[in-house]
Amino acid sequence: MNDMSFDSLRKKFPVFKYKSYSLTRDESNIYISYDFETENLASFKPEIRIDISNLTLVNGFDFPAGRDIVFLLGMVEAVSYLKAACSPLLKVQCGCLGEDEKIWWKKLYYNGLGEFFYRNKINVSFDDFLTIEADSETAENRDFQAVITPGRSVVPVGGGKDSAVTAELVKRNHSDILFLTVNSQQARTDTVLSAGYTENDIIKTYRKISPELLELNKQGFLNGHTPFSAIVAFLSCYCAYITGSENIILSNESSANESNIRGLSVNHQYSKSYEFEKDFTSYIGSRITDKIRYFSILRPFNELQIAKEFCRHENYLFKFRSCNAGSKQNKWCCKCPKCLFVFCMLSAFLSLEKLTEVFGENLLDKKEMENDFKGLSGLSPVKPFECVGTAEELKYALSLCSEKLIKEGKQLPCLLKLFRESFDTDKILKENVLNEFNGEHNIPYEFLKDINEMYEYVRGEK
């Protein structure tokens, strides 16, 4: 078809179905698969595999609670496929959803697709975007008893500096830790190993996208960012359930709450935000169990504070990777906004010579990255659609870096020259970003000691 517009696709393909899910296992793996369909267009059968060869299962993998979490995981997986034609009706044919739950899912879809709407120039209201129908609104004979081991935690690992800092925080005072990876990448495994753990401490999961979706993308159907961290949330919840873990400990900082577009609520990191964290906690607590706690241990901190803590632990410096473009090859691409942002954050605490050794290039001396630099620093109203922090954090980091270079009598690289020409560093440094503390968090009492120790260090009190 020629017309791939939002309105045209919705008219031509008005119904998307969540038809079924399956949950099976053998000695080494748990297998999850889904059956979605855009009527008169395509069927999709994504798959997830969980390696359990190194795990002790505390709760039955297919007991009612486990099956229900897997059903809910399918609800968030579905958005990746629904978005291809943005069908206005979602029919859920394999599980129950109450009216309040339908609103919950609609909110996640709508906000989680904010960047998708913006990039595809789609203007649709919350009310008009989607109607969700379910075969049943109430579940019968729901028995969600589960064995939970106090203090046992699941820690998702992405392989970046945030994951490394979380690994260091939790190992100080907590011993019963399982890490979780989604699709193995070297930096993720290296993070766990660098923290002093072994591969047996990792819950390895593998997510396979249905090839039919990739084919539609090639044909020009709608495509774009989806709330991936919400998938990690529900997958982590299932893994916490089967291993009897009490905590799911995330590495999302306070900066994840910020919009990417000045004046608009378009957040690339919506499913990493505190708003989603609160919503997820409430939903799982009411639908599944309130015994599993979901929180980010880094929520009180900003990106610059996390960068300072990270630089204490040089064992990660040549192991971590935050670049989405280069992650599969375990390298920094040195061309994307994420690489530039991380380089800038670390430049406040490490020499440019050391960073050039880590990244392979001095990214502050790349004129071709000027547009990304302007977006990151606030010189442009659009912050790059990556998991990056605020302009204020970046400007403070570069103020520290440039002041250091000037005192040493060194020449400023081109992007630092642009920065000094555009901003008053004396004014920036008057508001000490390293003293900030975000009090909006869900961190349990027994983890506050770890937080306080880190806060003392990043403020320079320790």
Could you report the per-residue pLDDT of 82-116, keeping only the tens digit for each?
Answer: 999 999 999 999 999 999 999 999 999 999 998 89
Arithmetic mean of pLDDT, 135-140: 70
* CA 66 to each of CA 18, 27, 51, 86, 280: distance values in angstroms, whole numbers, following the listed order: 18, 18, 16, 29, 17
Q: What is the pLDDT of residue 268?
A: 64
Q: What is the pLDDT of residue 118?
A: 87
How many domains is the chain built from?
A: 2
Residue ending a domain, among 243, 272, 296, is 296
Residue 50 pLDDT exceeds 60 = yes
Q: What is the pLDDT of residue 390?
A: 86
Please say whether the beta carbons of 438 and 299 come within 8 A.
yes
* C-alpha torsion angle, residues 402, 408, 411, 413 (rounded to 10): -30
In this prediction, residue 388 has a pLDDT band, given cuts at 50, 70 and 90, of confident
Residue 325 pLDDT exceeds 60 = yes
Residue 292 DSSP SS3: coil
Residue 61 pLDDT exceeds 60 = yes
Both 85 and 213 in one domain: the answer is yes
Both 250 and 334 in one domain: the answer is no
Q: What is the pLDDT of residue 417?
A: 94
Arithmetic mean of pLDDT, 191-206: 96
Q: What is the pLDDT of residue 253?
A: 85
Arithmetic mean of pLDDT, 239-268: 78
Residue 326 pLDDT exceeds 80 = no
Q: Which of 185-194, 223-232, 251-260, 313-322 has the lowest mean pLDDT?
A: 251-260
Residue 450 resides in a domain: no
Q: What is the pLDDT of residue 328?
A: 79
Residue 259 pLDDT exceeds 60 = no
Both 368 and 260 in one domain: the answer is no
Q: What is the pLDDT of residue 67?
A: 94
Residue 397 pLDDT exceeds 70 = yes
In this prediction, residue 262 has a pLDDT band, given cuts at 50, 70 and 90, of low
In this prediction, residue 413 has a pLDDT band, given cuts at 50, 70 and 90, of very high
Both 273 and 348 in one domain: the answer is no
Residue 317 resides in a domain: no
Query: Domain range for residue 39?
Result: 6-296
Residue 62 pLDDT exceeds 70 = yes
Residue 199 resides in a domain: yes
Both 205 and 281 in one domain: the answer is yes
Q: What is the pLDDT of residue 136?
A: 78
Arithmetic mean of pLDDT, 152-170: 95
Q: What is the pLDDT of residues 110-126, one digit of tens each?
A: 999 988 998 899 999 99
Both 398 and 276 in one domain: the answer is no
Residue 140 pLDDT exceeds 80 = no
Please say whether the beta carbons of 241 and 147 come within 8 A.
no
Residue 144 pLDDT exceeds 80 = no
Residue ending a domain, among 296, 314, 339, is 296
Residue 155 resides in a domain: yes
Both 178 and 245 in one domain: the answer is yes
Both 107 and 219 in one domain: the answer is yes
Q: Half-sphere exposure of residue 373, counting CA atoms within 13 Å on the CB side?
A: 22
| Phi and psi, residue 382, nearest 5° | -110, 115
Residue 312 resides in a domain: no
Arithmetic mean of pLDDT, 57-84: 96
Q: What is the pLDDT of residue 31?
A: 98
Q: Report the percent of the chain where pLDDT is more than 70.
A: 94
Arithmetic mean of pLDDT, 349-376: 94
Residue 63 pLDDT exceeds 60 = yes
Question: Residue 20 burial (CB < 10 Å; 0-12/13-18/19+)?
Answer: middle
Residue ending a domain, among 296, 322, 350, is 296
4, two tokens: 């791939």
Comparing 41 with 462, the larger pLDDT belongs to 41
Question: Residue 445 burial (CB < 10 Å; 0-12/13-18/19+)?
Answer: exposed
Question: Residue 19 burial (CB < 10 Å; 0-12/13-18/19+)?
Answer: middle
Arithmetic mean of pLDDT, 284-293: 92
In this prediction, residue 270 has a pLDDT band, given cuts at 50, 70 and 90, of confident
Residue 445 resides in a domain: no
Q: Which of 2-11, 33-42, 44-53, 137-146 has the lowest mean pLDDT?
A: 137-146
Residue 148 resides in a domain: yes
Q: What is the pLDDT of residue 161?
A: 94
Mean pLDDT of the chain: 91
Strand partners, 136: 96
Both 364 and 260 in one domain: the answer is no
Both 190 and 290 in one domain: the answer is yes
Q: Ramachandran region of residue 224, left (φ > 0), alpha (ψ -120 to 50) or beta?
A: left
Strand stretches in 39-112, DSSP E: 42-44, 47-51, 89-96
Both 150 and 26 in one domain: the answer is yes
In this prediction, residue 391 has a pLDDT band, given cuts at 50, 70 and 90, of confident
Residue 98 resides in a domain: yes
Both 100 and 144 in one domain: the answer is yes
